[in-house]
Each structure stands twice: as C-alpha cells, then as structure tokens.
C-alpha cells in the first residue's frame, strides 16, 4: 500500500443549528506526492512515478522557488499574477485556508503553464505532515507546516535551488539552520529583487490600499457595519416607532424604480424638517434611496423606516441642460451660477424594517462561472428585476438548470450580499408559453389552477344537453315574469359568459321603459358555501392575452347563469321609467325571469342599428323584431351620455391590444375597435350601476359596497401639463369637467396631439377601488362624474357584483318590510322572516372591509398580470415576425430621456412603448448609421464621431456626413426596427432601434374610414383566426372609455398603417 | 478554515488523501468471541463491525424452518455511540430491517443451505462505528464469521461501495463523501466466479456512468478478497498447528 500511515483527525465542527459536533476524519499519509520540479534529483522523477495525472507546469531549474504563506496570498495575490513572479509553490495548507474566490484565482494560476506555479499536497505527504503540538494554535501549526515544506524542498533538491518563504509574520522563533532557505516578507522581497520594475509600484499601491482598508475595516466594525457587505444592523421596532413619532425617521413602503433598480423610493412622505429649514413641496414627496448599501437589505414592498442623509449627500436632480443651438452660447459665468442653484432631492437610507412583505418569486438558477454545478448553494435570478438575487440550497442543480422555479425568501443576514431562500416548486421550461403565463400568475399572487375542487363541483346544478337546466315553477312565482319582452344581449363575438342584457319598450303614455337585466348567480351560490368562499378568494375572472381563468365554474358562468338566447333564465333587473329626454321618473329593482331573444355580437348589433339587411347569423324576422329596440336604445343612451359628459365625465384613451391566434401561433396584433353600440351598452350599464349604487347607499349608509374614484393627485398631472405646454396647449386640471373640456378642445385642433395627451391623462388617474361606506364617506367617482357608483352588472366575473346583488336583495327586503309594516300585513312578515336572512356583509362591516381589500388587491394584480401577458405576447409576436423579415414600423417620440440618452417611442400599430437609446452604457454615443443611409440594415452600425445635443424638447444630432443637423423633437415620427431582446432569467422584451426620421412634411391622408371597411380588413382576413373571448368593453374601467366622436385611436392607427403600407416620401 | 472541500481535487486526491481507486485500510480478525460458533471483527477505514454467527441450530420458531434447507436469520443493529452524536436507535427501525434483509438475501445464495434442512443459521451484525459503508462492511464481516463458524459456502462474498464524483468513479466512500449527495453503489460479488450477489443503490446514477462505477466496485471487491483470504489462511493455519500439537500430546 502506498499509505505509510493513517491518522485520525479530530475536528469539532459547528453545524447550522449552532450545535457542536465532534467529528473524526481519517487522513491517509502518502509517499507519492511529487515535488514537480524539473531538477528533481531522483532517477525516476517524482512526477513520472504518479501515473494518470498530468501536471500543467513544473518548477524550473536555475531560479528560486517561492513559497507564500496564507496572509501573503490574501493580501498580495495580485503580485503573484504578475509575469515577473514565477515558480511558486502553493502549499495545500495555504490553499485550504484562504477564501473561496482566492481559491478560484489560485486554480486559474495553476492552470497557466508559463507561470510555473504548482500545488503541493503537503498535508497528505508523510514527509511533510506535522501534527499539532499540545496547546499550539492552528495558525502557529500552519506556519510550522509551511516552513517544513520549505525544508523538505531544500533537502529533496539537494540544496540546488534557493527556497524563499514569503511571510508577513515574524518567523524568528523558527531557527532554520539551512542556509538555502530564506525567509522574507513581501516588501523585502520586492524591493530586493525588483526595485526598479513596475511590479514595485504595483506593490506600493497594493500596500497602501491594504493599510487603508485595514483602518477602514476597524472603523466599520466599531460603527456596527459589517465590513464585507457594508450593511448596518437593523434597529429595533421600538426604536423605529419612537423615531417616526419624533420625526427623525420616515415610515413608508419601499418602491424600487423599474427603470433603474439601483434607486428606490419611499413614497408620499411629508418632509418638513425644521433642521433642514426647507419645505419640500416640489410635488414629489418621495425620499430617494440610492444603492444597495443604503437600501440595507430591504426588498421592494417592505414597510421600512428611513433616515434622511445630510443635505450635502443628497442626490442632484437631473438637470436638463438648455442647449438651444439657435441661442447664442451662454456665458460660462452663467452656467456656473446655474450649477450652484441645482436642486437636490431628499435622499436617505434605510435604518430598520417594520414589516417584510415577501411573497413567492419566480426565479431561474444562475449558471456558475465555472460552468458546472458543484456544492449545494446556488444563486437564482428572479424574473422581476426589482428583486435581488436569492441564494437557495439545492442538491441536484443540474436538474433545474433550464426551468423556472418558484422560490421564497427566508432571511437576509447582515454579512450576506444576497438574501437566503428556499426552493418551492418547478414551474416549467424557460421561455415556454405556458411556463411564462404561470410565472405571471405566480408573480402576481393569482390562482393558476383553473379547476374547482370536487365538493364544489358536486354542489352545482346540472345542465347537460340531455338534461338541460330548467327554472323551478315555485321560484318563477317569486319573480317578475318578463319572458314576453324583447330582450337581447350584445357582447364580443364568441362570448359565452353573458351576464348583461338590455331591453327598451315604448309605453302607451309616450314614456320609455329601459330595462337592464343581469344574470343572477347569487341565487345559485348560497353565502359562505364552498363555491362562494372560493369565488371570494379568486375575486375576479383573470383575462390574459390568450386565455382566461374563470371565477365561477363553467356550468354557471357559461350555461345556467349565462343569459343564452331562447332560454329561460333567472335575472336581477333594473327597470327605469323615463321620458324621451331620458329624465328618470321611476326605478324598479327586483328578481325577474327573462328569455333573451338573441345573443348579438357588437358588429351584428351595429349593423342592425345602421339599417343593413342580410346580416350573417341574423334571420330577417329577428332583425325586424330587434331593430326598433336597438334604435331606441341608441337614441336614449346618446342623451344619457351627453348629460353625463356635461357634468364632467372623462373619455380617455388606452393602448389595449388584441391578439389574433391561429393554430396556437400569433397571427396579428390588433387594436380594440370601438363602434357606437359599444357606447350604448356601456352607458346603460353605467346607468344601472349608478342607480344600484344610490339605492344601496340609501338603504345601508354604513355598510354598502360602492366603488369610488378619488380625485387624482395633482403631481401626477405634471407630465401631462408639460407635454401639453411643449406642444403649445394649455390643460386645465381643476376639475374633471375642466380636464375633459381642455382635452376635447385640443383634440378638435390636432387629433394626434389629443390622442397622446389623453393617453398621458390616463396615466395620471388614480386607482378606482371598492370601498365600504362604513369607513369611507368620500364616494365621488371622478372619471364618470357620478355621486354614487358601484359594480352591479357583471356578477359572473366579479365577486364585488355578487355582494352588491345580495345587498340589493336585502335592501328590497327592508323596503318590503317597511311596506308590510305600514300595511300591518302579518302574513308577509312571517314569510320574509323565513326567507334568506340578511347577508352577513350587510351586518358585519369588518367582513365587508376585508373582502374589499382582497378584491382591490386581486383586481390590481390581475390588471398587472394582463399587462404582463400582453407584453409577453407582443414580444413573442415580434420574435416570430422578425424571423421572417425585419419588422419596421412608425413610432412617435413621446419623451426625451434624461441626459440625452435617447427618447421614448410609442408604436401605435402594436401598442408598444419602448425606449430608443442613443447612448451606450458607458455614456458613449451610439447613433445609428441608418439616419444617414436610410437603410434598416444600418440601424445597428454606429457612426463614428458626431455630436449630440439635447434639451427637454428635442435631440439634435450633428455629424460630418449629415448635410444639416438632424432634429428629433417631441411628437416627431420616426421609423424604428422592432426586435426582441432575449434573456434567460427575465422575459424576452421588445426593443426598438432607430432607423431614421420620417419627414413630417408628409400629411397623413384625411381618410374617413368606414366601419365596415375596417371590419372587413381586420376581422375576416383569416377565417381560421380565433378570437379569444375577452371582456366586453363596458367594463367601466374609468380610464378606458373611448371617444364618442368618430375619429378614435383605432382610426388614427389605421392611418399609420396606411403610412407604412403605402409609400411615404422622405426628405 | 477550509471552505468548500472538494470531494476530488484536480490533483486526483480525495479529502482523506486517497486517490479515486484506493481502498481504505482494512483490518480484520476472526474468532474474537469464543462463545459464538463463528465470529469476526472487521475495520474498513473507521467503520467497525462485529459479526457473530450461531448455527446451524434448532430453529427458534417452528414456522421459520424449511423442510429442505436451512433458514438464515440476520439481525442488524447500530450502536448508539457509533455516530458523532449519541442516538438511540431501535432494532425494529425500518432501515435496519431493510439492511438485514439485504444481507440475508446475499447469503441465502452463497451458503450451501441444502446441507442443513430444518435448521436455522443466525447472523448478528453490530456496527461499532460508522464512517461510511456500513452495508458492505457488514457483508464482509458476515462472510468472515461464517467461514469461522465452518459453515460451507460456495465462495467468499466480498462487498465494496463505489460512487461517482463529476464523472470520475471513486472507490470505498467514507461518511463525508456518502453524505454529499454522491451517487453510491454497493456491490457484493463472489470473486472467483464473478457472480454478483448483491447490488444496492439508493441514489440516482446516470446509465452511462453505471458501468465504470460498477467495474471499480468489483475490482475493489477483488482486492478485499485477497486480504480476507490471507487472514483466513493465517488463522486456519494457526488453528491447524494447535490441533496438531494437541494431537502430539
């Protein structure tokens, strides 16, 4: 056996639970460790005896061998990497006692043949192994060991080659008789042998850096800062609370900026600090927190306490230099003065954390630098850029290399650069559509499992083709029978979950009876039943670009509750009696039973109203039956709408797009088109919602579920006002009426500008939320200009509407009770008592408040999920298309980026907004050649030289090859190249690259585009294309009300389409 | 302290100084417990095992006997002081019963049981210290004890474990290597005929890597066989000498 001896090493190891374990490990001492020197005196050199192992380099003859010790490697490793130092013996003792990143660097060094650096396993070699003596420290023993290595080498090589031991310690106690061995510290060595070489200067600078860092480290430790990561300890909650009360700390939620993840904000703090003697009312009451150190281990969403830094350390606001070429050059004097008056924004650092708001994050494992997965701890990169990388422990990392996983964070110790977490589950392969969609749902905390569990399925009514559901005779008696009325529903084509229908009837006395009949799922779902609880948890149907996740099972949502044509269905109705000027004389609420005459699609309904004959899918008989109702509905709703607009109702724009699929592939991205019939339906729904809202408020002033839209924060309008100013317009934001007026005026003059300003106004809106009137008395709805508003008309896909239905039934019960009381009708009272009791949400306000919170959160998250899915499919579409040919299109410049980095472009055709950069990451200019050559192929070739000037309104590019400077102003049109930016850890995103400017001298053709024309082109192009049913536009999301005038955003986009399809002249 | 110990360094050395294909030091002795029919003590590295054999003898339960062969009964237990933390373990622990069954199956084929119908052979295995490889050490100990007891066997049964670290097969894993998610394979062979008595693996091992690992384990078994052979011959020679001396008297 090659082992001469076996030793048992006794170690005491502290494991993760802070338990000490006594561990015994064997150590076999070998006698075949090679010296790896070319001048090995043995007949068969050491390294030749060891087969199967090849050594990259051997120590040379005719030189000195260096043996560094542990501290030398830690401090001066860079010097060893220098070309001058060769023939280095790295002892195993030294290797095992340095940090892992040094180990990696040493390994690299060992692989370089020219360095002649070798690794010597002295701990396993019987001739060099030394036992620790009694009461000897580990460090002392290590030093002895290294000296022993030196001695061995000297003897082995018969003192032919001088050995130098490089140590920073004082080794005088070890008397070494061998004259061949010299002990030096690094300074002596370098100054002795390489005095005039560059390595000497390198050494000097290293030494100084070390001195500084040593002092610095000590300083840090005394301050309570961890030297390696620079984080400070979090203060105790009691200290934080006291600090907040005294005004020293500010409490708030941390938001990480999406553009620049180095910056984070604490929003909405009223900073009025007497110490700083300034009132900060710049409209941005945010405290900026720059950098990871100042963020002190807080994660986006945590509630933290922030302390302001001294004013001198506050960040300077980005000054947009005003370098107008037309003006005379400013005096240098003037510029300096400007600098001194620079505005600084409040900057702070996190001192403690109140609550952590960690959730499940979707993440991807990072492939280590070495390429192979060794060890058990790995870094994972979360999908969301705002979250830092998370370290998890996982045994077989190879298996999760190409999948997205979900992880949760456990803790973030002060000495760790990244938080620690654990693996939860695998989601699916990277960049697979289903995986990405599930990731979107997980990221937003939405339910990704569309199925309902068995106990729920059992409780559902049966409705099969063989055994269709029929209403119960007894129940029909309890309802007002409207089955003889002409009632129809109008929804997107292919819609299965029909929850709203309309009817209108002209009465004998010239009055109209407008009826809105809504599906009645609350009848089938008893309160607090398993299905009710599940629906409450889901809170809403989630609509993504290509699929939806229902709140209620399909039996209810598409069959029994859904108002299908020619079937008897239970409904809850609101019936208005009004005159021909839409003045409401009487409102009736109640449970009804109806029979819908037709399930119309928007386009079909519009055609009927327009008087067309031969409409596909509608028989002539049906058309004639429905036409009068539809026409009356249109007339009445126009009047109602005008009244509402006159009070200040807003009509704004949004960039919603629809994806057209065929065979699982995306064939097109289309804008959502608006017909008048959309508005009709919408207006009726708003009317019904408002009426129910008022009814609920009157019945239950302290526990009604209403929907409010608060007045927007003034500071949010700043972008809108600035953009308008730049275009030369004034926007009045004093009230919703004023805003609507000014926007409409602008639109009359310039449609494009009007559209863009309306988009900006949409961004400035605050969020509409559900509230219980018990705690919130401010119930105004800004966007719709209504005093009381709620959601009543879509109970199949919104849980709030179910509660509203229940509350409405309660309010009717009270009404009936009061009537009965007045009539002293005892019998009825008894009956009422036997009926369903009051819904708990009416009695238990706290429960209602909790439900509202959940619904608001889920709504918000599903909205974001929808945006994310739209982005996902946009990127997929662009990726798909750019494989066939480069995708070019027109974009409008909507914003100039700070520092002249480029501008934001809005491509209306695809509903995409993306930055176009003109500078690289190191601030170098990256101006595409294509602005000169006009060729899209040159969009990625950058000009050499050139000059870029910018201000708030434009960027001016000068170049020797340009005849005259090219100006890119706000709201200019540019031609861009659309590509996908592929990423492993994050979703693929769409990137726009500038091709060239489109000359605005070309006037877009003033085409009055016909509805039919549009439909022909967009809907019937590809008969295989399936529309995925999406929510009807009447959703009343306040920001998505389309213009009632003819030229909608859709038409503007069509104009752009014309621009791209037809030829346009440039220059 | 050393951070991130490599199971196999680029120089080809493991954390205890062995190369990939080297066995730990083996130390074994037979006939240590006089009261048993056969006994053996084996040390492989720091894993220590005592095996005692009783039999063939009257079966303890009537229903345990076979009419045409001997039944083999194995009991396996780990001493409470065998690991770095003292831990009480019950004999009825499922893991132990599983290991005992594996050992039993191994020897049912190796021992010529047809010679002793309606009787029972008991093998008791006691692990005194665990440092990786308890199973193969137990099998080896049992082999030696059976030979010491004079129970006829077709051949020796030698067992060894092997694993795989980043494509390199390593032989005879110790505790640290076993616990680091290294795929482990325990093989028991009858060296002369090359027949495999037992093959145990409780971890995932890629099919491509299986063959080299397996071959390495078998070669380890063969090395052990020569060691055991030596030891048995020595002790038998001693026994023979003593008998001869007695006879002379």
Alpha carbon separation from B40 to A151, A929, B137, B142 (Å, rounded): 45, 86, 11, 7
Band of pLDDT at residue A1003, cut at 50, 70 and 90: very low
- At A1010 the pLDDT is 34
- At A781 the pLDDT is 86
The residue-averaged pLDDT of A784-810 equals 90
Q: Is B10's Cβ below 8 Å from some Cβ in A?
A: yes
The pLDDT tens digits for A571-613 are 999 999 999 888 999 999 999 999 999 999 998 898 888 888 8
Contact (CB<8Å) A29/B85:
no
Angstrom distance (rounded) from CA B82 to CA B70 = 32
Q: Domain residues for B32?
A: 3-248
In a domain, residue A70? The reply is yes
Work out the percent of chain A whose per-residue pLDDT is above 70: 86
- At B70 the pLDDT is 92
Angstrom distance (rounded) from CA A725 to CA A952 = 11
The model's pTM:
0.63
Q: Which residues pair with B163 in a beta bridge?
A: B170, B184
Alpha carbon separation from A669 to A876, A877, A1017, A1053 (Å, rounded): 11, 8, 13, 12
Look at A312-321, A785-794, A972-981 and tell me which has the smallest mean pLDDT: A312-321
Answer yes or no: is pLDDT of A1020 > 60. Answer: no
Containing A1057, the helix (H) or strand (E) segment is helix A1049-1061
Answer yes or no: is pLDDT of B190 > 90. Answer: yes
Q: Is B131's Cβ below 8 Å from some Cβ in A?
A: yes
Q: Is B22's Cβ below 8 Å from some Cβ in A?
A: yes
- At A314 the pLDDT is 83
Contact (CB<8Å) B17/A22:
no
- At A324 the pLDDT is 33
Would you call A334 helix, strand, or coil by DSSP?
A: helix
Same domain membership, residue A654 and residue A543: yes
- At A938 the pLDDT is 77
A chain contacts of residue B181, beta-carbon cutoff 8 Å: 376, 395-396
The pLDDT tens digits for A689-724 are 999 999 999 888 888 889 988 888 777 788 788 878
Look at A227-236, A1004-1013, B33-42 and tell me which has the smallest mean pLDDT: A1004-1013
DSSP A409-454: EEE--TT-SS-EEEEEEEEEETT-HHHHHHHHHHHTT--------H
Residue from the list A25, A374, A376 with its beta carbon closest to the beta carbon of B16: A25
The pLDDT tens digits for A518-552 are 999 988 988 888 888 889 888 899 888 878 888 99
The pLDDT tens digits for B33-60 are 989 999 999 999 999 999 999 989 999 8
Contact (CB<8Å) A25/B24:
no
Q: Which residues pair with A381 in a beta bridge?
A: A364
- At A1059 the pLDDT is 56
CATH of the domain at A346: 2.40.50.690
The residue-averaged pLDDT of A95-102 equals 86
With both helix axes pointing from N to C terminus, report the angle between A602-610 and A620-647 in degrees, rounded to the nearest 10.
90
The answer for A684, left when phi > 0, alpha when psi is -120 to 50, beta otherwise, is alpha
Contact (CB<8Å) B45/A2:
no
Q: Which residues pair with A255 in a beta bridge?
A: A265
Name every residue whose Cβ is closer than 8 Å to that of residue B223 and which is 6 or more positions away in sequence: B23
Last residue of a domain, one of A997, A1030, A1049: A997
Q: Pairing relation of β-strands A542-543 and A548-549?
A: antiparallel
Residue A885 neighbours by CB distance under 10 Å: 8
Contact (CB<8Å) A24/B45:
no
- At A327 the pLDDT is 32
Contact (CB<8Å) B17/A28:
yes
Q: Is A7's Cβ below 8 Å from some Cβ in B?
A: no
Look at A243-257, A913-927, A995-1009 and tell me which has the smallest mean pLDDT: A995-1009
Residue from the list B3, B15, B25 with its beta carbon closest to the beta carbon of A6: B25
Answer yes or no: is pLDDT of A326 > 50. Answer: no
Q: How many CA atoms lie within 13 A of A13 on its CB side?
A: 14
Q: Is B86's Cβ below 8 Å from some Cβ in A?
A: no
- At B108 the pLDDT is 93
Q: Is the peptide bond preceding residue A763 cis, with omega within 30 degrees of 0?
A: no
The residue-averaged pLDDT of A226-233 equals 83
The pLDDT tens digits for A377-394 are 889 999 988 999 999 888
Answer yes or no: is pLDDT of A226 > 90. Answer: no
Same domain membership, residue A433 and residue A470: no
Angstrom distance (rounded) from CA A243 to CA A241 = 5
Look at A747-756, A885-894, B196-205 and tell me which has the smallest mean pLDDT: A747-756
Angstrom distance (rounded) from CA A644 to CA A786 = 8
Q: Which residue of B has its CA nearest to A118?
A: B11
Same domain membership, residue A176 and residue A64: yes
Contact A138, A132 (CB under 8 A): yes
Would you call A1000 helix, strand, or coil by DSSP?
A: coil
Structure tokens at A760: 């900006």
The residue with tokens 């924004």 is A345
Contact A249, A305 (CB under 8 A): yes
To 10 degrees, the CA torsion angle through A337, A338, A339, A345? 130
Helices (H), A564-648: 602-610, 620-647
Same domain membership, residue A592 and residue A490: yes
Domains held by chain B: number: 1
Same domain membership, residue A493 and residue A381: no
Structure tokens at A948: 């870029």
Domains held by chain A: number: 4
Answer yes or no: is pLDDT of A1045 > 90. Answer: no
Would you call B166 helix, strand, or coil by DSSP?
A: coil
A chain contacts of residue B11, beta-carbon cutoff 8 Å: 53, 119, 121
CATH of the domain at A925: 2.40.50.140
- At A319 the pLDDT is 47
In a domain, residue A9? The reply is no
> Measured between CA atoms, how close is A21 to chain B, in angstroms?
6
Band of pLDDT at residue A1032, cut at 50, 70 and 90: very low
Last residue of a domain, one of A997, A1015, A1042: A997
| DSSP code at position A962 | S
> How many Å from the N-terminal Cα to the C-terminal Cα in chain B?
65
Answer yes or no: is pLDDT of A318 > 60. Answer: no
The residue with tokens 């429905």 is A626
Containing A336, the helix (H) or strand (E) segment is helix A332-340
Q: Is B24's Cβ below 8 Å from some Cβ in A?
A: yes
> Measured between CA atoms, how close is A119 to chain B, in angstroms?
8
Answer yes or no: is pLDDT of A820 > 90. Answer: no
CATH of the domain at A134: 3.40.50.1010
Q: Which residues pair with A975 in a beta bridge?
A: A890, A996
Q: Domain residues for A45?
A: 33-192
A chain contacts of residue B25, beta-carbon cutoff 8 Å: 1, 3, 6, 28
Q: Is A30's Cβ below 8 Å from some Cβ in B?
A: yes
Q: Which residues pair with A951 in a beta bridge?
A: none
| DSSP code at position A942 | B
Work out the percent of chain A whose per-residue pLDDT is above 90: 14
**Sign of the CA dihedral running A69, A72, A76, A79:** negative
Residue B135 neighbours by CB distance under 10 Å: 24
Encode burial over A3-42: b for 16+ CB neighbours within 10 A, e otherwise. beebeeeeeeeeeeeeeeeebebbbbbbeebbbbbbbbee
Averaged pLDDT of chain A: 80
- At A1065 the pLDDT is 36
Structure tokens at A544: 């993504």
The pLDDT tens digits for A266-284 are 875 655 544 444 444 444 5
- At A574 the pLDDT is 93
- At A949 the pLDDT is 84
Structure tokens at A496: 């299965």
Angstrom distance (rounded) from CA A1044 to CA A678 = 10
Look at A530-544, A655-669, B139-153 and tell me which has the smallest mean pLDDT: A655-669
Burial class (CB in 10 A: 0-12, 13-18, 19+), A684: buried
Contact (CB<8Å) B85/A23:
no
With both helix axes pointing from N to C terminus, report the angle between A198-223 and A70-81 in degrees, rounded to the nearest 10.
140
Answer yes or no: is pLDDT of A320 > 50. Answer: no
Contact B79, B127 (CB under 8 A): yes
Last residue of a domain, one of A388, A421, A443: A443
Band of pLDDT at residue A190, cut at 50, 70 and 90: confident
Name every residue whose Cβ is closer than 8 Å to that of residue A235 and which is 6 or more positions away in sequence: A243, A305, A351, A352
To 10 degrees, the CA torsion angle through B145, B149, B153, B159? 0
The residue with tokens 């000169």 is A932
Angstrom distance (rounded) from CA A918 to CA A932 = 15
Same domain membership, residue A500 and residue A632: yes
Angstrom distance (rounded) from CA A514 to CA A502 = 8
Same domain membership, residue A391 and residue A354: yes
> Measured between CA atoms, how close is A863 to chain B, in angstroms?
44
Contact A892, A908 (CB under 8 A): yes
In a domain, residue A428? The reply is yes
Name every residue whose Cβ is closer than 8 Å to that of residue A469 and which is 6 or more positions away in sequence: A461, A462, A463, A559, A560
Contact A520, A475 (CB under 8 A): no
ipTM summary value: 0.88
Contact A391, A418 (CB under 8 A): yes
Helices (H), A581-706: 602-610, 620-647, 676-699
The pLDDT tens digits for B74-129 are 999 999 888 877 777 777 788 899 999 999 999 999 999 999 999 999 999 999 99
Contact A325, A402 (CB under 8 A): no
Size of interface A-B (CB pairs under 8 A): 63
In a domain, residue A16? The reply is no
Same domain membership, residue A937 and residue A827: no
In a domain, residue A449? The reply is no
- Radius of gyration of chain B, Cα coordinates, nearest whole angstrom: 19
- At A1002 the pLDDT is 37
Burial class (CB in 10 A: 0-12, 13-18, 19+), A339: exposed
Same domain membership, residue A501 and residue A390: no
A chain contacts of residue B169, beta-carbon cutoff 8 Å: none
Q: Which residue of B has its CA nearest to A129?
A: B17
Q: Which residues pair with A256 in a beta bridge?
A: A264
Q: Which residue has the higher pLDDT, B115 or A132?
A: B115
**Sign of the CA dihedral running A451, A455, A460, A463:** positive
Answer yes or no: is pLDDT of B152 > 50. Answer: yes
Same domain membership, residue A533 and residue A483: yes
Same domain membership, residue A941 and residue A979: yes
Q: Pairing relation of β-strands B120-129 and B47-57?
A: antiparallel
Containing A238, the helix (H) or strand (E) segment is helix A237-246
Contact A609, A634 (CB under 8 A): yes
- At A822 the pLDDT is 60
Contact (CB<8Å) B12/A3:
no
Name every residue whose Cβ is closer than 8 Å to that of residue A1008 and which is 6 or more positions away in sequence: A1046
CATH of the domain at B20: 3.30.230.70
Same domain membership, residue A616 and residue A581: yes
Answer yes or no: is pLDDT of A92 > 50. Answer: yes
Angle at the Cα of A102 (from A100 to A103), degrees rounded to 5? 60
The residue-averaged pLDDT of A124-132 equals 88
């Amino acid at each position: 056996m090659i082992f001469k001896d076996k030793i048992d090493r006794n170690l005491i190891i502290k494991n993760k639970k802070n338990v000490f374990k006594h561990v015994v490990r064997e150590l076999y001492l070998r006698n075949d460790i090679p010296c790896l020197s070319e001048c090995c005196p043995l007949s068969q050199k050491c390294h030749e005896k060891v087969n199967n192992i090849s050594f990259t380099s051997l120590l040379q003859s005719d030189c000195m061998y260096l043996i560094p010790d542990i501290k030398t490697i830690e401090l001066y490793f860079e010097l060893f990497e220098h070309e001058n130092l060769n023939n280095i013996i790295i002892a195993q003792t030294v290797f095992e006692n340095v940090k892992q990143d040094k180990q990696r660097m040493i390994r690299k060094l060992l692989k370089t043949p020219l360095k002649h650096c070798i690794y010597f396993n002295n701990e396993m070699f019987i001739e060099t192994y030394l036992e620790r003596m009694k009461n000897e420290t580990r460090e002392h023993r290590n030093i002895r060991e290294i000296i022993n290595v030196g001695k061995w080498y000297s003897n082995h090589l018969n003192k032919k080659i001088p050995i130098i031991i490089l140590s920073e310690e004082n080794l005088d106690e070890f008397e070494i008789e061998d004259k061949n061995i010299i002990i030096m510290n690094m300074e002596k060595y370098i100054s002795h042998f390489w005095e005039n070489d560059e390595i000497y200067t390198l050494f000097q600078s290293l030494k100084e850096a070390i001195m500084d860092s040593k002092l610095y480290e000590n300083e840090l430790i005394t301050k309570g800062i961890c030297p390696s990561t620079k984080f400070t300890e979090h203060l105790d909650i009691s200290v934080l609370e006291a600090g907040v009360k005294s005004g020293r700390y500010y409490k708030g939620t941390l938001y990480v900026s999406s553009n620049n993840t180095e910056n984070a904000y604490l929003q909405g703090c009223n900073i009025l600090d007497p110490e700083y003697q300034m009132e900060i009312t710049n409209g941005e009451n945010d405290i900026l927190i720059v950098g990871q150190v100042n963020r002190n281990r807080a994660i986006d969403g945590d509630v933290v306490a922030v302390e302001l830094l001294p004013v001198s350390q506050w960040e300077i606001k980005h000054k947009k230099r005003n370098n107008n070429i037309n003006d005379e050059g400013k005096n240098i004097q003037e510029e300096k003065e400007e600098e001194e008056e620079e505005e600084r924004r409040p900057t702070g650092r996190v001192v403690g954390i109140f609550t952590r708001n960690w959730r499940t994050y979707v993440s991807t494992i990072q492939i280590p630098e070495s390429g192979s997965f060794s060890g058990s701890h790995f870094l994972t990169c979360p999908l969301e850029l705002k979250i830092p990388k998370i370290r998890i422990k996982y045994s077989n990392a190879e298996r999760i290399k190409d999948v997205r996983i979900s992880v949760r964070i456990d803790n973030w110790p002060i000495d760790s650069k990244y938080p620690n977490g654990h693996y939860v589950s695998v989601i699916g392969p990277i960049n697979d559509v289903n995986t990405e969609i599930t990731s979107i749902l997980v990221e937003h905390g939405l339910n990704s499992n569309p199925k309902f569990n068995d106990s729920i399925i059992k409780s559902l009514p049966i409705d099969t083709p063989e055994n269709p559901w029929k209403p119960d005779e007894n129940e029909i008696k309890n309802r007002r029978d409207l089955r003889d009325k002409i009632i129809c529903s109008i929804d997107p084509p292919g819609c299965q979950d029909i929850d709203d229908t309309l009817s209108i009837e002209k009465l004998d006395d010239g009055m109209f009876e407008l009826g809105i009949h809504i599906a009645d799922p609350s009848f089938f779902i008893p309160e607090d039943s398993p299905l009710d609880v599940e629906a409450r948890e889901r809170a809403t149907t989630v609509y993504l670009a290509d699929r939806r996740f229902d709140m209620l099972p399909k039996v209810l949502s598409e069959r029994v509750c859904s108002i299908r044509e020619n079937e008897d269905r239970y409904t809850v109705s609101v019936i208005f009696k009004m005159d021909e000027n839409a003045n409401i004389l009487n409102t009736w609420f109640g449970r009804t039973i109806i029979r819908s005459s037709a399930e119309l699609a928007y386009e079909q309904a519009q055609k009927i109203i327009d008087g067309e004959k031969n409409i596909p899918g509608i028989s002539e008989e049906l058309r004639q039956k429905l036409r009068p109702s539809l026409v009356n509905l249109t007339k009445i709703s126009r009047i109602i709408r005008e009244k509402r607009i006159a009070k200040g109702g807003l009509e704004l724009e949004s960039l919603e797009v629809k994806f057209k699929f065929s065979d699982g592939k995306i064939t097109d991205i289309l804008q959502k088109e608006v017909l008048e019939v959309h508005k009709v339906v919408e207006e009726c729904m708003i009317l019904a919602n408002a009426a129910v809202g008022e009814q609920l408020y009157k019945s239950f002033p302290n526990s009604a579920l209403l929907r409010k839209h608060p007045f927007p924060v003034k500071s949010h309008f700043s972008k809108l006002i600035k953009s308008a100013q730049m275009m030369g317009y004034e926007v009045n934001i004093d009230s919703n009426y004023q805003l609507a007026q000014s926007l409409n005026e602008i639109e009359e003059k310039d449609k494009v500008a009007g559209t863009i300003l309306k988009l900006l106004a949409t961004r400035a809106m605050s969020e509409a939320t559900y509230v219980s009137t018990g705690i919130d008395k401010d119930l105004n709805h800004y966007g719709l200009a209504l005093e009381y508003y709620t959601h009543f008309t879509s109970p199949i896909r919104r849980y709030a509407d179910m509660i509203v239905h229940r509350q409405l039934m309660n309010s009717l019960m009270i009404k009936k009770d009061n009537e009965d009381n007045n009539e002293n009708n005892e019998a009825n009272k008894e009956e009422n008592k036997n009926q369903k009791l009051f819904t708990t949400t009416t009695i238990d306000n706290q429960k209602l408040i909790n439900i509202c919170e959940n619904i608001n959160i889920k709504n918000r998250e599903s909205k974001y999920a929808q945006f994310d899915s739209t982005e996902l499919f946009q990127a997929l579409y662009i990726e798909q298309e750019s494989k066939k040919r480069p995708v070019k299109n027109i974009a409008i410049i909507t914003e100039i980026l700070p520092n002249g980095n480029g501008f934001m472009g809005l491509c209306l055709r695809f509903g995409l907004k993306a930055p176009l950069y003109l500078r690289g990451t190191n601030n170098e200019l990256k101006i595409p050649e294509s602005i000169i050559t006009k060729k899209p192929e040159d969009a990625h070739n950058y000009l050499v030289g050139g000059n870029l000037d910018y201000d708030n309104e434009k960027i001016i590019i000068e170049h020797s090859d340009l005849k005259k400077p090219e100006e890119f102003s706000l709201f200019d049109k540019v031609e861009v190249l659309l590509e996908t930016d592929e990423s492993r850890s994050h979703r693929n995103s769409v990137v726009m690259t500038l091709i060239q400017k489109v000359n605005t001298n070309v006037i877009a053709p003033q085409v009055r585009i016909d509805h039919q024309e549009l439909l022909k082109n967009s809907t019937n192009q590809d008969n295989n294309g399936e529309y995925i049913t999406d929510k009807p536009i009447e959703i009343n999301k306040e920001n998505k009300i389309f213009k009632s005038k003819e030229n909608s955003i859709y038409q503007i986009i069509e104009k752009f389409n014309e621009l791209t399809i037809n030829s346009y002249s440039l220059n | 302290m050393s951070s991130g110990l490599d199971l196999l360094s680029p120089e080809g050395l493991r954390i205890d100084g062995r190369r990939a294909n080297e066995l730990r030091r083996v130390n074994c002795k037979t006939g240590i417990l006089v009261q048993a029919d056969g006994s053996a003590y084996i040390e492989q590295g720091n894993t220590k095992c005592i095996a005692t054999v009783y039999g063939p003898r009257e079966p303890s339960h009537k229903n345990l006997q076979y009419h045409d062969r001997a039944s083999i009964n194995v009991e396996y237990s780990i001493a409470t002081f065998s690991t770095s933390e003292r831990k009480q373990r019950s004999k009825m622990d499922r893991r132990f019963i599983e290991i005992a069954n594996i050992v039993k199956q191994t020897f049912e084929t190796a021992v010529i049981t047809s010679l002793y119908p309606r009787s029972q052979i008991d093998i008791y295995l006691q692990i005194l210290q665990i440092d990786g490889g308890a199973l193969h050490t137990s099998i080896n100990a049992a082999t030696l004890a059976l030979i010491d007891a004079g129970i006829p066997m077709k051949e020796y049964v030698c067992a060894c474990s092997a694993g795989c670290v980043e494509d390199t097969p390593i032989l005879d894993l110790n505790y640290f290597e076993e616990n680091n998610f290294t795929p482990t394979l325990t093989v028991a062979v009858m060296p002369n005929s090359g027949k495999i008595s037992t093959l145990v693996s409780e971890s995932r091992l890629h099919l491509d890597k299986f063959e080299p690992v397996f071959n390495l384990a078998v070669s380890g078994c063969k090395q052990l066989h020569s060691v055991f052979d030596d030891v048995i011959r020595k002790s038998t020679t001693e026994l023979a000498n003593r008998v001869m001396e007695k006879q002379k008297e």
